[in-house]
Amino acid sequence: MKMRRVTLAISGLILALVAGLASAQVTLYDRQGMHGRSFTADGAIDNFDNLGFNDRASSAVVQRGVWEACEHAYFRGRCVTLRPGEYASLDSLGMGNKISSIRPLRGAPNYGYGYGRRYEERRYDRDRDYYER
């Protein structure tokens, strides 16, 4: 009986994750103000060059979900996070006519610097009044 509950709980969690990704949707436009040729995605596009829409997006509407848009194929280079709403000009994000790949994000996007030390990073210790390596 307990095993069945665990299996049902895991199945429900997996279904919720899949449903969340399936409901994500974004429309990109090749002119500012949501005009011109459009392309709608409901899943990851790792290379717009194959679809004839590489470096063409000038505006966007995120209908559902949170998306990561990147300037190079395969989610490389500079990436920005797009939340639900209208983006009349992607220039304001520095991504006008630069998007080459886009994908829905799962969970909360990571915006912060993080607290882990990076290689060769120097940190200031205010209690000791010096920089440590």
Query: CATH number for the domain including 70?
Result: 2.60.20.10
20 pLDDT tier (thresholds 50, 70, 90):
very low
Has residue 123 got a pLDDT over 80?
Answer: no
The dihedral sign for the CA sequence 114, 116, 121, 127? positive
Has residue 113 got a pLDDT over 90?
Answer: no
| Burial category of 89 from C-beta neighbours within 10 Å (exposed 0-12, middle 13-18, buried 19 and up) | middle
Mean of per-residue pLDDT scores for the chain: 80
The 3-state DSSP class for residue 93 equals helix
For 4-132, strand residue ranges (E) read: 25-31, 35-41, 59-64, 67-72, 76-82, 85-87, 101-104, 123-125, 130-132
Contact by Cβ (8 Å): 28, 108: no
- Average pLDDT on 38-42 reads 96
With respect to residue 46, please indicate whether it lies within any of the assigned structural domains.
yes
Contact by Cβ (8 Å): 29, 59: yes
Q: What is the pLDDT of residues 48-96, one digit of tens each?
A: 999 999 999 999 999 999 999 999 999 999 999 999 999 999 999 999 9
With respect to residue 122, please indicate whether it lies within any of the assigned structural domains.
no
Using DSSP bridges, classify how beta strands 123-125 and 101-104 pair: parallel, antiparallel or unpaired: unpaired
Percent of the chain with pLDDT over 90: 61
Task: Please give the tally of structural domains in the chain.
Answer: 1
With respect to residue 114, please indicate whether it lies within any of the assigned structural domains.
no
Backbone angles phi, psi at 11, to 5 degrees: -60, -40
Per the structure, the complete domain to which residue 32 belongs is given by: 2-109
With respect to residue 128, please indicate whether it lies within any of the assigned structural domains.
no
